[in-house]
A and B are shown apart, each in its own frame.
Chain A
């Protein structure tokens, strides 16, 4: 099985393939929303962002980039290492939020409705064999 370098274009393409295959609109409760993960202190320095956009449960945009963070309903910001630990299942996303290692910007009422969906999404990403 191939191993993908975390947060590279190859990793993103594999993630998109898996997300589309495993998370059907029904599994995503037909949500329309967007989320941008902002990775601080990436290897080599700098910040990266990963944008997820869902329309009626379908992933319509999934981009990796640097520079200015794109508009999204939710922004989750944290150190690269924190996201990496979440992806390796060494740290729960909830715990990372509750200990302030991740910061969420967006309306909590809606975020609570989407918490289970975000977990599903994280599980798919965690299944990608990755090098960090």
Chain B
């Protein structure tokens, strides 16, 4: 187990998080919380859980973590929980995840019939980790007559606004991403781009970022997303795992790279035109950088995603490029595993961003924009984690906003 150091700039009060969740559980009449989402595991355990994992939070006292036995000792080594609160499950009598966890929960309930909070729902994010239908049925049967009730909103509410330690981790992850962008720029300039493929750019950014302290290129969308040529302008596209495509003169290049620092996430996209750049390409580039700049100026506490989208699409319309804008300007972000909707699950479409969510001070989100003109094989992407402030926002990546023309 690791010791939490309150003097560290990256300190997060995990015992305090547990107590806050327990207070919410009491209000909601939840006796035991059974978390299974990656975001919940990161938020409570402070370690990455790549295998199916669970956390059981009692009404008082320390939680217990359960993960696939091959990774349990590593999780025990990295989390702040003591070793005896981390369990490995395996296909053995009494040790499979259902029986092991159900027995643990029943011990906590001390023979009473209780209400067990679970995490259910849907997500576009594949590793979200909601309880599967099969797991639900098995836990329901094993814990009967206790009731399983969906309670993910407790964690969602508590994790919405970020504390100083979390923001500091995101800030450091963004600093590392900027190192990656600098390395890519160095590699491209002066004809260095010739012969490079998208995957090589992804790799050289990864090397630079890891040297600077990144743990991995965390995004499930293929790590570092690199697109060149027509791939930058795919209709409505905002996901480009790097391909083996080689860079070519006269084409755009999109470099969307990711770093992770103590489960804080860096995610920034920078764009290039490989010379020669045509006037038309430069017109597209100006449109893009102007709308990004205006968007960043507009973010502040109190506005909503729909307010922002309306204003930005109006601007794009006035400049004659609304047809090329994907009409979304952000996505949610939190500690590793939290990468999808913004706000609570209280919008018109369940488990999607509520367009009328009002941003609050110290919410962190990814300002994310995609400009795509497929008929001209050109597009650009902007992503940057921002901290919402009372009057404005803090852009965590400091890499200068531009579409750089490289020769």
Q: Is the CB of B91 within 8 A of A98?
A: yes
Chain B contacts for A107, CB-based, 8 A = 84, 86-88
Chain A interface size band reads 10 to 19
Closest Cβ–Cβ distance, residue A24 to chain B (whole Å): 27
Q: Is the CB of B93 within 8 A of A104?
A: yes
Interface residues of B in 73-89 (CB under 8 A from A): 73, 76, 83-84, 86-89
Decide yes or no whether A69 CB sits under 8 A from chain B.
Answer: no
Q: Is the CB of B95 within 8 A of A108?
A: yes
Decide yes or no whether A100 CB sits under 8 A from chain B.
Answer: yes
CB-CB nearest in chain B for A105: B94
Closest Cβ–Cβ distance, residue A132 to chain B (whole Å): 21
Chain B contacts for A104, CB-based, 8 A = 92-95
A81 to B199, CA, bound (A): 59
Q: Is the CB of A100 within 8 A of B83?
A: no
Main secondary structure of the interface of B (DSSP, over half): mixed
Given contacts A108-B89, A109-B69, A109-B76, are A103 and B94 in contact (CB under 8 A)?
Answer: yes
Decide yes or no whether A101 CB sits under 8 A from chain B.
Answer: yes
Decide yes or no whether B72 CB sits under 8 A from chain A.
Answer: yes
Beyond known contacts A108-B88, A108-B95, A109-B86: 11 more, CB 8 A cutoff: A77-B93, A77-B94, A97-B92, A97-B95, A98-B92, A103-B93, A105-B103, A108-B72, A108-B90, A109-B73, A109-B76
CB-CB nearest in chain A for B99: A103
Residues of chain A having any CB pair with chain B under 8 Å:
77-78, 96-105, 107-109, 112
Chain B interface size band reads 10 to 19
CB-CB nearest in chain A for B69: A108
Most chain B C-beta atoms within 10 Å of own C-beta, residue among A78, A97, A107: A107
Contact pattern, B 155-192, Cβ under 8 Å of A = 1, otherwise 0: 00000000000000000000000000000000000000
**Could you list 8 A-B pairs, sorted by A, with CB under 8 Å?**
A100-B92, A100-B93, A103-B99, A104-B95, A107-B86, A107-B88, A108-B69, A108-B95
Q: Is the CB of B69 within 8 A of A112?
A: yes
CB-CB nearest in chain B for A101: B93
Q: Is the CB of B87 within 8 A of A109?
A: yes
A29 to B99, CA, bound (A): 30
A96 to B87, CA, bound (A): 21
Partner of B72, one of A77, A99, A101, A109: A109
Partner of A109, one of B83, B91, B93, B94: B83
Chain B contacts for A103, CB-based, 8 A = 93-95, 99
Q: Is the CB of A97 within 8 A of B72?
A: no
Q: Is the CB of A112 within 8 A of B91?
A: no
